Structure 1
Amino acid sequence: MANVFFWLLLAFMYLTLQWKYNGAEGKLSTESGCKLFYRVADCSHLQLLSVPQNLPTDIQELLLDFNQIRFLHKNSFLRYHDLTNLSLRSNRMEFVEPGAFNGIRSLKVLSLQNNTISMEYELTSAALRLTPSLKELDLSRNMLTMDMVSVLHQNLTSLERLFLDNNIIMRLDQTVFEGLVHLKELSLQWNYIYEIEDGTFEGLVKLKKLDLAYNLLPCIGDFRLTQIQMLNLSFNNLEWFQSQETDVEFHLEILDISNNQLLFFPLLPRQHRLHTLLLSNNRMRFYGDIFGTNTSRADFLIVENNITSVTTVDLWSDDIHSNLSTLHYLDMSHNQFAFFPHGFFSNMSSLAYLKLNWNCLQVFSVSPSNITSLLDELDLSNNELLELQADNISPGILSLSYFNLSSNNLYNLPKNIFTSMTRIHTIDMSNNPLHLCSQSELRMGEGKCVDVRNVPSLRRLYLSGCGMELGLQRVFYGNTLTHLDLSYNNIKGITFLADTARTLQSLFLRSCLAFNITVDFSVFMSLTVLDISGNALTTFPASLTGLALHYLDLHNNNLISLPLYNTQRLIGSLKIVYISNNSFDCCELGWMNVLIHSIRIPDLQKVTCSFSNRYFPVWNLPESINHSCQWTNGGPWLYLLLTLPVCLTLLVALLLLFLTFKQTLLQTVKRRCRRSTSY
């Protein structure tokens, strides 16, 4: 017993001491205004004019962002000798005095982002020289020029990451990054760089990541940075990208040239490690259909250091000079490709993701001779496709799991195209003038239809806006769909959904149901998402009350009321419902209280109801309407007013009858009641 008491006493003392320590730390945080967490001090947004000197001396990270520190004086951090991370973003800082970082033994990360150190950049440069262990420096948003940058990083040979985004750098030469032999990452986004001299980055032998996005570069005529692994050139004015003609292996893995003005497919290094190539939002196309494949050459005039040279380049030939066997992700969307030369994709043996949407393609082949059988996702949406070719297709030959053909002009597809994809789970054929095959049509040999039956792996199917008429045909036989979009078609019944009704979880039927059609949803027992908006429904489908829906869209219909009083299962599961743009009766809103208190209604501000041919917002219904509805709906006063005239009328009628027949009535009474009286 004594031992138990002893251990309980020790535990109590430990908890008490720990509480006192935390209390003391909290008191220190309150006094300084900074938040302390382990060895991190967050002093952001405190309107500080200088570095606080009452923090624990062993902190390793100090955040002074969004204050009003205009200068860093000498010995500002003398007592914080363990500091490794220091952030001074957005302080309107003009300069850092030499010696400001005295006492800091190993500062590794420093952020001076969004200040004005360009005013006295020489002083700041002198201060930075006393940080020999600095690995990362952020000088973004400081109105720096190229000459200022070259001065600021002098003697910072230990730097590995340098950020110079959002400055006013216009050109780069060989001196700007001189001495940064350990630099691995360099970011120059959002500047005004229009020229890069030859050899600017060649001294950065360890540079792996170079970001030049959002600049004004017109072309890359001789890319030779073999050490770069990631190069971002997006959002420039590039019309041409050509790498150095050499057999030396480049370490390039990710290349982003999206959102430029490229006219031709880039001429990549012959040997590289490229796995991601982003070329979207350019003006690329092939010109063999205009000039002929034998004349697809161009002469480029290159002027460099007052020396003029002419380079002759094949715009396209059947052979790809660059080895693209390592390419895994290729995005060429939003360009002007009308065709691809034969064999263009054939040597991309590792390609898994291919985006060709928003081009001018009219014909495309998914045959094994054109694309690799390992392709997982293919996006051909928003083209001008009239024909999809698939030669030598057999079951299991294609491994596509996602196939997007939406917004084209396809009315027919190769037979058994989808049954050859044993891994396919998502197909989007929205906005195509196609028709689904039924068993009877296939039996009769009618070929102008698309067969989506007997695709066991298929889970998501999008067929919105195809102009189809669906009713009795069983067009989904052999499928176990979980997500189906049939919006903007013509549906006369839902018999065609019988084969997949029990597995469907999401069903979209926007603007497709025949006027005032009665649809029985009771067999859709797995349904959690239902969209029947825009269908001019006048009555709420009673079959929905037995479902456990999570999402229900009823907006843009003609519903007068929602009978939700005895629908415990539906109300208990429903999380989101859209009900705006209906014809609700202001005097029939008892169901609204049920919804507002238990279900989220994102469009509640748009929900209106009608009263006397006028519309009012239901969330702010005038009190006068409620009073008027009480009279209209038959409140107690209304019953009284209706009963009182009837009673008065009966009473007056009885009185008139009595007065009319009074004399006769009295005589009759006397005659019947007359008896002899004995005296």
Structure 2
Amino acid sequence: MNGLSDDAVELYLQQKSSLDQLKMTGNALTRLSHSLFKDSKGLRAITIDDNLISVIEPGTFEPLSQLEMLSLAKNNLEHICDFKLYQVKYLNLSQNSLEFFVTREDNRLYGLEVLDLSFNKLLYFPIVPKMNYLRYLHLQNNMVGALNSEAAMVSEANSLYNEIMDKNIIRKNNLHSNWRQMPVTYIDLSYNHFRSFPLETLSLLSALETLNFSHNCLQNIIWNIRDYTDLGYHRLLFFPSLKHLDLQSNGLVHISPLFLNALRKIDTLNLQDNSVQPCALSDHLRSSQSTQQRNLNTSCVAFGQLRTLKHLSLKGNNIKMLHPNTFQETSLVSLNLARNAHIVMHVSALEGVEKTLESLVMSEINMTSSDLSLPCMPALTQLNLSNNHLDIIPSSLSCSPLREIDIRNNHLVSLNHSLIHALSVNLNLMYISGNYFNCCDSKWLTALNESEIKLPDLNDTACFTGDGNIMITEYLKSSSEKCLFHREAQEVHFGQIFIIVLFVFVLLTVFIIFTRKLCCTQRSFIV
């Protein structure tokens, strides 16, 4: 943060042959000249973030044969027309004004492993070096997908490439040709402008394992790919290595079964904050046989197709119904159903995954104890039932080896002592605040207090006595005194009831005897 100008920096770098790393963050550089590093050719890492650079002269970085890390983030660069840094492994160009990134096709091997083009103005996928080691590609917060279709985007990217390279005849699809050979395992495309899923482009990435496609504008994922035959068959595309897919906040209603079928190794699927409705099991079968248009009309998602799926988030989807066996044939280990306030769960909704589920989140689903029916889940270790209307905890949980449970903000007055005793064998962590606990009905609390279970929110937990509400921690200090009046009142109450019942019984007995005697006397008088 020295405010150095272009000339001052060039003067500073003279005769610095032993310089290994250079950091010039927060200066006033506007242009990088080809002579800037002529005396510093041993540089391995350069960071020139947060400057005003808009021009990089040809030959500026190419002579730096040992350069592996280059960061030019937070500058004013508008385009990269001919990337030629064969030696660089890490390149950060985030937070510039880049509209495109193009590499001339050649037969050289590039060392590039990480490319960060996030927070720019890209309209197209970058045309990266054809031969590279690229593993991580950051494209979040751009304008990719703003064009009408994937085909239009690819076509314009190729036209741009030919224009930059002075090629008058378009001979091939340079974008797809280069992407087909990328060994990328991670791509972040969140916060872009996609209205359709770029199936053809992304399916080229045979090594892709993690794709963040959150916060776009998809609404529907349909199998909209070009057919190269007149037979009318759908061309088969697959994502052979994709394990982690994030589709959060896309307004999704429908996901084509053909797309789901292409996710051969999917492990984690995040559908939070969409409008996805799970299909009934019978719909699973129909969806694999019906046409795409019919599937679009059903507007439900058949999760049973995802045999390898282990982690699923359906948080905030406004789900109306969980049908029987909704997730059957998946391999679910964790399931998040939070913030579905109108959900109705069939008693068999979790059938098929009850033996594999280890984590279940059902917070903020407006559920009462009569609505909630959980099966025995022998693998369940984490359960979140917070922010509901529960007054009883399901007894079926006694067969689960729970290590963590969250029951905050419900309508609980007491907890089942035997259930707490059963859970305490494995339970490490429990959240209980925000309920209506009765201080004087607290065998469960004594059991918890004597166990090794951690209660992080105990200091925030209140309970009530005959005198009003107090904090549970205060009650535990003098529980006998706080509930003495309560017990005496109970004893007096039961004593009074007994006396009243006895008095009524005696009164009735006397009345009956008197009535009988009166009747006998009247009969004698008549005779």
Normalising by structure 2, report the TM-score. Answer: 0.72
Specify which of 518, 524, 529 is matched with residue 377 of structure 2. Answer: 524
CA distance 1:227–1:428, shift in 2 (3 Å): closer
Determine if the alignment matches structure 1 residue 633 to structure 2 residue 487: yes
The 5-angstrom pairing of residues 304-323 of structure 1 reads 319-320=173-174, 323=178
Could you tell me which residue of structure 1 aligns to residue 110 of structure 2? 251
Hey, what's the Cα distance between the residues in 1 that align with 2:153 and 2:419? 73
Count of residues paired in the alignment? 474
The 5-angstrom pairing of residues 272-283 of structure 1 reads 274-283=134-143
Could you tell me which residue of structure 2 aligns to residue 95 of structure 1? none
1:368 is displaced (CA, Å) by 8.8
| SS at structure 2 position matched to 1:507 | strand
CA distance 1:365–1:207, shift in 2 (3 Å): farther
What amino acid maps onto 2:94 in structure 1? S
Hey, what's the Cα distance between the residues in 2 that align with 1:630 and 1:325? 77
Does structure 1 retain, via aligned residues, the 8 Å contact 2:367–2:390? no
Hey, what's the Cα distance between the residues in 2 that align with 1:294 and 1:210? 28
Hey, what's the Cα distance between the residues in 1 that align with 2:462 and 2:402? 24
Please give the per-residue CA displacement for 1:191-250, whole angstroms capped at 9, x wherever unaligned: 4545444443244233222111233444445544344332111123x2334446574736
Hey, what's the Cα distance between the residues in 2 that align with 1:397 and 1:232? 27
Determine if the alignment matches structure 1 residue 435 to structure 2 residue 278: yes
Hey, what's the Cα distance between the residues in 2 that align with 1:290 and 1:505? 39
Specify which of 349, 352, 359 is matched with residue 506 of structure 1. Answer: 359
The 5-angstrom pairing of residues 157-556 of structure 1 reads 157-166=17-26, 169=29, 171-221=31-81, 223-236=83-96, 238-243=97-102, 245=104, 247=106, 249=108, 251=110, 253=112, 254-268=114-128, 274-287=134-147, 319-320=173-174, 323-327=178-182, 328=184, 329-339=186-196, 344-345=201-202, 348=205, 350-362=207-219, 364=221, 391-392=234-235, 400-415=242-257, 418=260, 421-430=263-272, 431-439=274-282, 442=285, 448=298, 449-453=300-304, 455-470=306-321, 473-487=324-338, 488=340, 490-512=343-365, 514-517=367-370, 519=372, 521=374, 523-556=376-409
Could you tell me which residue of structure 1 aligns to residue 472 of structure 2? 618
The 5-angstrom pairing of residues 124-139 of structure 1 reads none
Higher mean alpha-carbon deviation, 541-550 vs 263-272, is at 263-272
Does structure 2 retain, via aligned residues, the 8 Å contact 1:470–1:496? no
Does structure 2 retain, via aligned residues, the 8 Å contact 1:439–1:475? no
| SS at structure 2 position matched to 1:530 | strand
1:559 is displaced (CA, Å) by 0.4
The 5-angstrom pairing of residues 593-608 of structure 1 reads 593-596=446-449, 598-608=452-462
CA distance 1:167–1:617, shift in 2 (3 Å): farther
1:550 is displaced (CA, Å) by 0.5
Hey, what's the Cα distance between the residues in 1 that align with 2:303 and 2:197? 28
Q: Which stretches in structure 2 are left out of the alignment for 5+ residues? A: 228-232, 500-527
Does structure 2 retain, via aligned residues, the 8 Å contact 1:286–1:339? no
What amino acid maps onto 1:239 in structure 2? L
CA distance 1:145–1:340, shift in 2 (3 Å): same
1:187 is displaced (CA, Å) by 2.0
CA distance 1:424–1:443, shift in 2 (3 Å): closer
Hey, what's the Cα distance between the residues in 2 that align with 1:502 and 1:246? 53
The 5-angstrom pairing of residues 24-39 of structure 1 reads none
Please give the per-residue CA displacement for 1:423-477, whole angstroms capped at 9, x wherever unaligned: 3333344432423222488589996243333754332333334444557723344
Hey, what's the Cα distance between the residues in 2 that align with 1:342 and 1:416? 11
1:185 is displaced (CA, Å) by 1.8
Please give the per-residue CA displacement for 1:616-653, whole angstroms capped at 9, x wherever unaligned: 44345698997453212339xx9699999x99xxxxxx
Could you tell me which residue of structure 2 aligns to residue 108 of structure 1? none
Does structure 2 retain, via aligned residues, the 8 Å contact 1:439–1:474? no
Hey, what's the Cα distance between the residues in 1 that align with 2:171 and 2:197? 11
Could you tell me which residue of structure 2 aligns to residue 574 of structure 1? 427
Hey, what's the Cα distance between the residues in 1 that align with 2:180 and 2:158? 27
CA distance 1:234–1:345, shift in 2 (3 Å): same
Could you tell me which residue of structure 2 aligns to residue 55 of structure 1? none
Please give the per-residue CA displacement for 1:294-324, whole angstroms capped at 9, x wherever unaligned: 9959999xxxxxxxxx99899x998235622
CA distance 1:183–1:318, shift in 2 (3 Å): same
CA distance 1:481–1:212, shift in 2 (3 Å): same
The 5-angstrom pairing of residues 14-93 of structure 1 reads none
Higher mean alpha-carbon deviation, 416-425 vs 208-217, is at 416-425
Answer 1 or 2: which has greater helix percent: 2
What amino acid maps onto 1:330 in structure 2? I
Cα RMSD, aligned residues only = 4.7
CA distance 1:456–1:274, shift in 2 (3 Å): closer
Greater relative contact order structure (CA < 8 Å, 6+ sep) = 2
Hey, what's the Cα distance between the residues in 2 that align with 1:542 and 1:346? 47
Does structure 2 retain, via aligned residues, the 8 Å contact 1:551–1:574? yes
Please give the per-residue CA displacement for 1:367-393, whole angstroms capped at 9, x wherever unaligned: 8979xxxxxxxxxxxxxxxxxxx9355
| SS at structure 2 position matched to 1:574 | coil
Hey, what's the Cα distance between the residues in 2 that align with 1:639 and 1:481? 52
What amino acid maps onto 1:358 in structure 2? H
| SS at structure 2 position matched to 1:323 | helix
1:547 is displaced (CA, Å) by 3.0
Q: State percent identity of aligned pairs.
A: 28
Hey, what's the Cα distance between the residues in 2 that align with 1:441 and 1:265? 35
What amino acid maps onto 1:213 in structure 2? A
CA distance 1:355–1:616, shift in 2 (3 Å): same
* Rg larger for: 1
CA distance 1:167–1:443, shift in 2 (3 Å): closer
Q: Which stretches in structure 1 are left out of the alignment for 5+ residues? A: 1-140, 301-309, 371-389, 648-679
Determine if the alignment matches structure 1 residue 584 to structure 2 residue 441: no
What amino acid maps onto 1:179 in structure 2? D
Does structure 1 retain, via aligned residues, the 8 Å contact 2:252–2:275? yes
What amino acid maps onto 2:187 in structure 1? L
Hey, what's the Cα distance between the residues in 1 that align with 2:245 and 2:139? 20
Does structure 1 retain, via aligned residues, the 8 Å contact 2:223–2:259? no
Does structure 1 retain, via aligned residues, the 8 Å contact 2:213–2:247? no
